[in-house]
Structure 1
């Protein structure tokens, strides 16, 4: 068994991905580094919880509650909540108070729990209420356009809206792509060339830091080695 996960892309510019999963007979997982922050809602032992999960700057081992169900909205880079410092959430999380099966509290108001199917409607309401905003400088840089501000200002805006520098985001995204390529059967040497690593030791250090796996382990992954790396759309599948 392990973790079964379903992910889907979103047509919302505010959302990177929507996902849900279930756990069975797994105690822990490798949580792979991610530049995104998320809203995560889960139920275990009849109790519903909600967290704002911050970006993860490195791979870590995370506990997994038994027989739990999870749902998450992964927000697009550059999307943030001005009342909440994303930098304080890096490698951490903030529980949302008074969470029940129907609602939770966010910035002093009760909000109905979103679902896998209505996540975009929930996000649109956050935007209308000015709880969720997008930084145009960050989205412009991510789209490959030159920002109309200084490099120092752009860097400051990146850290404010993502909690990470642009360089850190690039490193994390490259390591995630490398891991997916290796899982798909690409040789390490080919990955080095395709993604611009200096050499195989450079790739190995990146995988160890951001993915928590060696190239050999990724190539021979078993069900017992649960990871938070699917980030591909598709039906429920064991991770």
Structure 2
């Protein structure tokens, strides 16, 4: 068995996706796909529970996978921020939260019960209520296609402050992830190029290699699974 991943959307404006997975014997590494979102991750390996906050990932990378481990994650929506652990300082990195147990972990000076796949929304609601999470509505509005009455420089500054990424970088990451999903669904390459606005097939190939870590022909390679990919 390789890496089994299950995910679901959320009706919380602070959550992009909730996911969980488990690893089996024989799997040593995976390809971590670029992501424009910060994330809280909980995993258990050999009876030890760990919790980490991860920042956005600007390119695909290889990551080790422990055997017989379980994972759970809350992918925060773009624009959601954690002021005491700002995502713009965690781009392509993470910070592990010390002293986590199977029941609780410490975050911003308080003990928090470990969230679960079905309780992510109530956990995040409490984070918001206690001031641990915040959200920049301008970033969310722009990504929905709205045009706030702000200068381009101000909008760009808000994006970088909230996410650590420019609006253009986020757009490129989202486009490459969407292309990968479409190709895995056997949408013809030329249709993907046209619909997503790539110049040509080499342009698509470079984007996939950088942000997804695979060429179009290797997206389904089972020997090294991909991290969370989903249809937005």
Which protein, 1 or 2, shows the higher relative CO under an 8 Å CA cutoff with sep ≥ 6? 1
Deviations 1:48-84 (A, max 9, x none): 0000011110000000111000000010110011122
Aligned to 1:188: 189
Q: Distance in 2 between matches of 1:232 and 1:41?
A: 23
How far has the Cα of 1:179 moved from its partner?
A: 0.7
Residues 32, 211 of structure 1: 8 Å contact kept: yes
Aligned to 1:24: 24
Deviations 1:12-40 (A, max 9, x none): 11101111000012110000101011100
Deviates more, 1:145-154 or 1:115-124: 145-154
Aligned to 2:229: 230
Aligned to 2:75: 74
Aligned to 1:59: 60
Q: Residues 20 and 64 (structure 1 numbering): CA distance in 2 closer, same or farther, change over 3 Å?
A: same
Q: Distance in 1 between matches of 2:129 and 2:83?
A: 14
Q: Distance in 2 between matches of 1:142 and 1:74?
A: 16
Aligned to 1:4: 4
Deviations 1:171-226 (A, max 9, x none): 000000111111111222221111100111100100110011011112xx232231
Gapped regions of structure 2 (runs ≥ 5): none
Counterpart secondary structure, 1:43: strand
How far has the Cα of 1:148 moved from its partner?
A: 2.5
Gapped regions of structure 1 (runs ≥ 5): 234-239
Residues 5, 228 of structure 2: 8 Å contact kept: no
Q: Distance in 2 between matches of 1:222 and 1:214?
A: 10
Aligned to 1:178: 179
Counterpart secondary structure, 1:204: helix
Residues 29, 63 of structure 1: 8 Å contact kept: yes
How far has the Cα of 1:43 moved from its partner?
A: 0.1
Residues 176, 229 of structure 1: 8 Å contact kept: no
Q: Distance in 1 between matches of 2:167 and 2:231?
A: 23
Q: Does 1:161 align with 2:162?
A: yes
Counterpart secondary structure, 2:66: coil
* TM-score when normalising by structure 2: 0.96
Q: Distance in 2 between matches of 1:202 and 1:20?
A: 33
The runs of at least 4 consecutive aligned structure 1 residues that moved more than 2 Å come to 229-233
Deviates more, 1:38-47 or 1:134-143: 134-143
Q: Does 1:112 align with 2:86?
A: no
Question: How many residues are paired up?
Answer: 231
Q: Distance in 2 between matches of 1:46 and 1:163?
A: 34
How far has the Cα of 1:232 moved from its partner?
A: 5.0
Deviates more, 1:83-92 or 1:111-120: 83-92
Q: Distance in 2 between matches of 1:232 and 1:158?
A: 23
Q: Distance in 1 between matches of 2:52 and 2:227?
A: 17
Q: Map 1:99-138 to 2 at 5 A.
A: 99-138=100-139
